[in-house]
Chain A
Amino acid sequence: MTETLRERIERVLPRVSKPARYTGGEWNAVVKDHAAVDVKVAWTFPDAYEVGMSHLGSLIMYHQINRREDACCERAYAPWTDMEKEMRAEGIPLFTLETWTPVRDFDILAFPLLYELTYTNLLTCLDLAGVPLCAADRTEADPLVIAGGPCAFNCEPLAPFLDVAVLGDGEEVIHEILDTYKAWRDEGRKDRRELLRRMARITGCYVPCLYEVTYNPDGTIKEYRPTEPGVPTVVDRATVKDLDRIDFPTRPVVPNTQIVFDRAQVEVFRGCTRGCRFCHAGYITRPVRERSPEIVQRLAREIVQNTGYSELSLVSLSTADYTDVRQTVSRLSDELQCQGVNVTLPSTRVDAFSVALADAVSKVRKGSITLAPEGGSARIRRVINKTVSDRDIRDAMRAAFRSGYRAVKLYFILGLPTETDADLEAIAEKGRWALEIAEEELGRQEARKVRVTISVSVFVPKPHTPFQFEPQVRLEEARRRQEYIKRFLKDRRIDYKYHEADVSHIEALLSLGDRRVAGAVLRAWQMGARFDGWNEHFDYNLWLRACAEAGVDVAFYTYRRKGYGERFAWDHLSPGISREWLIDDHRRAMAEVEVDDCRWENCDLCGVCMRYDVLPTLKPAGFVGEDDIAVTDSTG
């Protein structure tokens, strides 16, 4: 008797770490009869289960597909290295957790791309699935390989491996994709290229193989040209105009094992127009579209009911900016408290209001509060348009100690454009400020217990941002700056952490890379690169060898200042912001001039609203109730 796939999986599980990653069987997982659906999608997250299960976008898309009667969506995740080894030894293909079906048997393989250092895992998943790595080698019998998420806006380093990349909000465009696939399949599943041609006609869908790239003698890109009529020169992103009209998952899959964000999540708005110039998300998700407070509250209640979570998080790129944040938080907090459920906010804006807000919802023992000034000096914060003043920072620290926090985490970016040693000293200075303020507020005795963490990451220039023209700071210089900051941090109450600069260097390569970089991704994977985003797996020298073998000059992509006229690998993948605006904003950055947030101030003509006929939508509270929580804007 031959062993079934499930039996083989069960046999290897006792030998691997965290076997609950691979068993499925979670509450709210959707199991459908494959014979009763027309289109089957394997949602394949190219990272570990505990990361993939934390991704709200994946939960949203799982719901969007499964709510169709004619479709099913099942989940697969990149197996950890020990599991990959077992799967290869036992001939176990990549399988879905819902039904232990080989991923290869699905019509569509969908990869969310959230982080460049998961690219090698994507290749692992394709390979374990038994799907040809290169799109060009796939036939009508192979699944359609699609990818979406933030990194899709420059997916060129993955171009040879993807059939379709989806730009923008997925909730509506996925249905067009499924319908288009069905129609092609119903016509006899003939001619894969015809399917790709049809996909290319959907707004938001980019089909890399339908473009020809030419290069200049200096190695820069000359041109991207569609190779067939009907294929757009520039691919526009898919945009959801009104979140209130979009179905949000109220029965999300509840993990059995610990994941990174193990809580209920409700998205209160999408997009952010604060305009922090380093922030990729802030430019590809414009404009702000809020969900109505009544709907947020209804969703929150239903999700808590349907999951049994003890924590509910109101998520967005900056939740303190949600128009009705006070009342929504206060109502939900009051209502859910009696069910033993805490309401939390994922991040804290750097000002006293936000600290007070975080404090008001914090029912848990006062742990640490995280503030992200990003830039040390007021000058560099003007360069990056992080519009918080020194006073805001001090007020936020003061409010934190006053409301009982004894640990403050401060996040900064190193290697920002125009950065000098004075800006680095200003980072260290913020740590000393925190201690001074703690002593003023708490007295010398109590202030001895205070812990300040200064966490510094290395700046990675991102496509579609005003800093896309900027080089990354050289690796050795990044390391010197990391050490330089340390010199100014002598107090033992300050804990100084910095991210590995070599990881950021490869992240920059994959963020800014073009099609030629795909060869390095493939080579690195062949040489054994896996889970590159995990420190225990990342191997910088392996990547350098892979790049050398693939003929990829890392410095060309990462250390070179690019001209305003240069044609980038992502110029045909549009989030809607005009090149002219990005140039203007880069000039403003160099002049240390800030721009306003168009939610509350003048429109800066970034171009997104006009291009996609979508407007910023703020959904204010209906009235100001007495149940407003006490949050003060000043520290008095």
Chain B
Amino acid sequence: MRLRIRLAKLGLARFLSHLDFQRVVERGLRRAELPLAFTQGFNPHPRISYASALATGTSSEGEFIDVDLTEPVEPEVFLARANAALPPDVRLLEARPAPEGGESLMALINAAEYRLRLEGAGEAALRQAVDRFMKTEHVVVTREGPSGSRPVDIRPHVYRLTVDGPGELRALVQTGSQGNVRPEEVVAGLRQLSSELAEAEFLRAHRLMLYRRDPETGVCAEPWSL
């Protein structure tokens, strides 16, 4: 049996790297004494697959994993037992049986929604910058990579960008194997378009949800039924 689970990485746990997060989740599920299915081979590990890596420093309530089990467990029972064995800042929020024969989570996911918080950004200035951003065809920012930095046009991969309140943005961007727009790149793009935002401090990014976005229609589906 395979369960699909939505998790949250909250509070100080946002400073865990993706590798650390995986370690914490695996150890928690081991402690919970759930009937985990293990990989074969010399170094058996529970079969847990992740939808997408989350950047260190970003919190989330929209992480997804698939967990293979050797016998059926009621989703509510699974959540209760796992949460009792996990640190308080790592929470399992929702569990449902994973669809039969579907694609892997990693292959499915291609979009992520974030909430971004900026300090020292007036709401009017923010709205104006967002408006310009969405009307522009190209927003080129510098992407830092392991082999140096290079310019990238993020505009085509930012699907939606709105102002949610004072200093608060919501962004739907590309994520996954085809490409990844990072929250700080969206903020960097906005700064380019508005001198008033130059002084604003980018405080936090929080991932809200992961989606399968249809490139034709732009319709986004949560990973449950895919």
Contact = CB atoms under 8 A, between A and B. Distances in A.
B157 interface: no
A310 B20 contact: no
B57 A19 contact: yes
B30 A256 contact: no
B11 interface: yes
A24 B12 contact: yes
B138 interface: no
Contact of A308 (B16, B31, B43, B89): B31
B83 interface: no
Interface stretch (B21-29, B110-118, B123-131): B21-29
A258 interface: yes
A313 to B, nearest CB: 15
Contact of A256 (B16, B31, B45): B16
A622 B45 CA distance: 34
A306 B30 CA distance: 9
A352 to B, nearest CB: 23
Contacts of B13: 23, 25, 256
B166 interface: no
B112 to A, nearest CB: 19
Nearest to B13: A25
A305 B32 CA distance: 9
B19 interface: yes
Given A20-B15, A342-B43, A310 B30 contact: yes
B87 interface: yes
B42 A365 contact: yes
Interface in A80-107: none
A305 B20 contact: no
B87 A25 contact: yes
* Residue among A25, A305, A365 with max Cβ neighbours from chain B (10 Å): A25
Contact of B46 (A258, A305, A340, A365): A340
B24 A256 contact: yes
Nearest to A6: B12
Contact of A13 (B15, B27, B42, B89): B15
Contact of B12 (A25, A27, A340): A25
A340 B20 contact: no
B215 interface: no
Interface string B20-61: 100110111111010010100011111000000000110000
Given A10-B12, A310-B45, A27 B17 contact: no
B88 interface: yes
Contact of B31 (A20, A306, A364): A306
A364 B30 CA distance: 19
A260 to B, nearest CB: 14
A308 B11 CA distance: 22
B30 A363 contact: no
A10 B45 CA distance: 33
Interface string A1-22: 0000000001001100001101
Contacts of B36: 340
Contacts of A307: 27, 31
B87 A27 contact: yes
B42 A308 contact: no
B31 A25 contact: no
A14 B57 contact: yes
Contacts of B19: 258
* Residue among A25, A26, A27, A308 with max Cβ neighbours from chain B (10 Å): A308
| Chain A interface, DSSP helix/strand/loop, else mixed | loop
A27 B43 contact: no
Of the four ranges (under 10, 10 to 19, 20 to 34, 35 or more), the interface on chain B belongs to: 20 to 34
Contacts of B45: 310, 340
A257 B17 contact: yes
Contacts of B16: 20, 23, 256-257
Nearest to A306: B31
B44 A256 contact: no
Contacts of B27: 27, 254, 307-309
A422 B16 CA distance: 52
Given A256-B24, A365-B42, A20 B17 contact: yes
A23 B12 contact: yes
A25 B42 contact: no
A399 B27 CA distance: 35
A431 B51 CA distance: 47
A364 B45 CA distance: 12
B44 A340 contact: yes
Given A24-B12, A363-B43, A258 B20 contact: yes
Contacts of B28: 27, 308
A58 B42 CA distance: 31
A80 to B, nearest CB: 14
Contacts of B86: 27
Interface string B74-96: 00000000000111110000000
A610 B133 CA distance: 82
Contacts of B87: 25-27, 256
Contacts of A258: 19-20, 23
A341 to B, nearest CB: 9
A308 B40 CA distance: 19
A24 B88 CA distance: 11
A373 B111 CA distance: 57
A364 to B, nearest CB: 5
A257 B88 CA distance: 16
Contacts of A340: 30, 36, 38, 44-46
Interface in B128-170: none
Interface of B: 11-13, 15-17, 19-20, 23-24, 26-31, 33, 36, 38, 42-46, 56-57, 85-89
Given A308-B27, A339-B30, 18 more contacts: A19-B56, A20-B20, A23-B16, A24-B12, A25-B87, A27-B28, A27-B86, A254-B27, A256-B20, A257-B23, A258-B19, A258-B20, A306-B31, A307-B27, A308-B85, A310-B30, A340-B36, A340-B45
Which 7 pairs show the lowest CB-CB distances between chains A and B? A308-B27, A308-B30, A23-B12, A19-B15, A308-B31, A340-B44, A257-B20
29 contacts: A13-B57, A20-B17, A20-B56, A23-B15, A25-B11, A25-B87, A25-B89, A26-B87, A27-B24, A27-B27, A27-B31, A27-B85, A27-B86, A27-B87, A256-B13, A256-B24, A257-B16, A258-B19, A305-B31, A306-B31, A308-B27, A308-B85, A309-B27, A310-B30, A310-B45, A340-B30, A340-B46, A364-B42, A365-B43
